[in-house]
């Protein structure tokens, strides 16, 4: 059974700092890995999707990497801003329909 872990559960940084969010998973037989952002009481916004054959994806100030063999992914956020404050969820797609298994998320707070 796939398990996804995100540690720490919460993180507080000053504005402007570059930061890395970590994600690990137990079963390397994945189709893809996806990073999401969730604001309080809201649904999920897809940030980046990395296919199993890829090593990284970039979108603006975000860069996500994937090391499938070691079961790890990182989300790099450059020059963090208060508007980046949210919960960031990592999810891996496996099995039929590439169903997603989610981590518990990392709640990020960027202080002005």
Partner 1 sequence: GAVVSQHPSWVICKSGTSVKIECRSLDFQATTMFWYRQFPKQSLMLMATSNEGSKATYEQGVEKDKFLINHASLTLSTLTVTSAHPEDSSFYICSARDPGGGGYNSPLHFGNGTRLTVT
CB of 16 to partner 1, least distance (A): 28
Among 93, 106, 108, 110, indicate the residue that binds partner 1 (CB under 8 A).
93
Nearer residue to partner 1 within complex by CB, 17 or 55: 55
Taking the C-alpha atoms of residue 73 and residue 31, their distance in angstroms, rounded to an integer, is 14
- Cβ(27)–Cβ(2) below 8 Å: yes
Nearer residue to partner 1 within complex by CB, 5 or 18: 5
Does the footprint of partner 1 cover residue 105 (CB under 8 A)?
Answer: yes
CB of 10 to partner 1, least distance (A): 10
Among 66, 100, 108, 110, indicate the residue that binds partner 1 (CB under 8 A).
100
Tokens of 109: 């707070």
Does the footprint of partner 1 cover residue 44 (CB under 8 A)?
Answer: yes
- Cβ(19)–Cβ(84) below 8 Å: no
- Cβ(5)–Cβ(21) below 8 Å: no
Task: Say whether 101 sits in a helix, a strand or coil.
Answer: strand
């Amino acid at each position: 059974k796939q398990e996804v872990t995100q540690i720490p559960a919460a993180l507080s940084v000053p504005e402007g700092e570059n930061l890395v969010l970590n994600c690990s998973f137990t079963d390397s037989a994945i189709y893809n890995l996806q990073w999401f952002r969730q604001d309080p009481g809201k649904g999920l916004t897809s940030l980046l999707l990395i296919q199993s054959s890829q090593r990284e994806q970039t979108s603006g100030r975000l860069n996500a990497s994937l090391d499938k063999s070691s079961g790890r992914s990182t989300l790099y956020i450059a020059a963090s801003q208060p508007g980046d404050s949210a919960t960031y969820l990592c999810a891996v797609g496996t099995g039929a329909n590439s169903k997603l298994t989610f981590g518990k998320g990392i709640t990020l707070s960027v202080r002005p």
